[in-house]
Amino acid sequence: MTNTRNIETNTNLSSPLGARGSLDVRGLTIDAKNVDFYYSEFHALKNINFEVSKNEVVALIGPSGCGKSTFLRLLNRMNDLIPGTRMTGSVLIDGEDIYAPNIHVDELRKEVGMVFQKPNPFPKSIFENVAYGLRVNGIKDKTFIEERVIESIKSAALWDEVKDKLNKSAFALSGGQQQRLCIARALAISPKVVLMDEPASALDPISTAKIEDLIHELKKDYTIIIVTHNMQQASRVSDKTAYFYLGELIEFDKTTTIFTNPKEHSTQNYVTGRFG
């Protein structure tokens, strides 16, 4: 492991990507240039250029199969797991090319956390779920792990509901609670960017509202990219919105602009619900 951690003075894991922001602005910039992506022969993403500043919340919208999830998964190299895929172009996070050969994927994924569409807790206790990321990153200090777990569960707005049953199986939680547990788990390793792939699509309105509140909270500390099918959600939580269609990034602008005065006709059709 290249980075060392100073447990006493700071609870943030240090960045393997080099330069890091001051404490109040922790998020990282993302800059994708001329990205093309293929599933075998299928051209899933076509020449995407996409830039995000620190601590922004960006919503990716578009009809199913438009490539928004694929693009999201490029940002922490999750697509590496799918055989037969190919990418050209470059993705810079905090100025560094994450597809460069000297980048360790596991180090990258500590910086760029991810929350999946379906809650996917491990078949372990609530505590162990959140502690997992710390443990696999070589942290052994028990008190530090405990503090960090509690802190993460609190910042995922789950503490009051689970504080008495941290040793119970995570499967005993409701879907919404499980999803917040997954968010807590992602936050525990102190990423700088959080990717969310339709985090509320499997949840009821109350749980969804909690997650959205949470995103507002998290914005202070993280750069957040969220894929959503829900227009209202996109308009509620995001600063900027990107509209994908058939593998192309059609329009990327301030959320208010996208929803009130989009430049492209296709975007307007989509956000007003005329198609998609």
Query: For binding to other proteins (CB under 8 A), which residues are involved?
Result: 76, 78, 81, 83, 105-107, 109-110, 113-114, 116, 118, 120-123, 132-133, 135-137, 169, 171, 182, 185-186, 189
Closest approach of other proteins to the CB of residue 145, in Å:
14
Q: List, in sequence order, every residue forming a beta bridge with 91; answer none if it has no partner.
A: 32
Main-chain phi, psi angles of 205, to 5 degrees = -60, -35
User: Which residue, 142 or 274, has its beta carbon nearer to other proteins?
Assistant: 142
User: Which residue, 191 or 262, has its beta carbon nearer to other proteins?
Assistant: 191
User: Which residue, 120 or 269, has its beta carbon nearer to other proteins?
Assistant: 120
User: Which residue, 162 or 195, has its beta carbon nearer to other proteins?
Assistant: 195
Tokens coding 50: 């996409």
Closest approach of other proteins to the CB of residue 73, in Å:
9
CB 98 within 8 A of CB 108: yes
Closest approach of other proteins to the CB of residue 247, in Å:
22
Closest approach of other proteins to the CB of residue 136, in Å:
4
Would you say the C-alpha torsion 122, 83, 226, 106 has a positive or negative sign? Answer: positive
User: Which residue, 16 or 276, has its beta carbon nearer to other proteins?
Assistant: 16
Q: What is the DSSP letter of 24?
A: T
Closest approach of other proteins to the CB of residue 189, in Å:
6
Residue 238 Cα to chain centre, angstroms: 13
CA-to-CA distance for 178 and 157, rounded, in angstroms?
12
Write out the H or E segment, with its range, that includes residue 49.
strand 42-52
CB 85 within 8 A of CB 79: yes
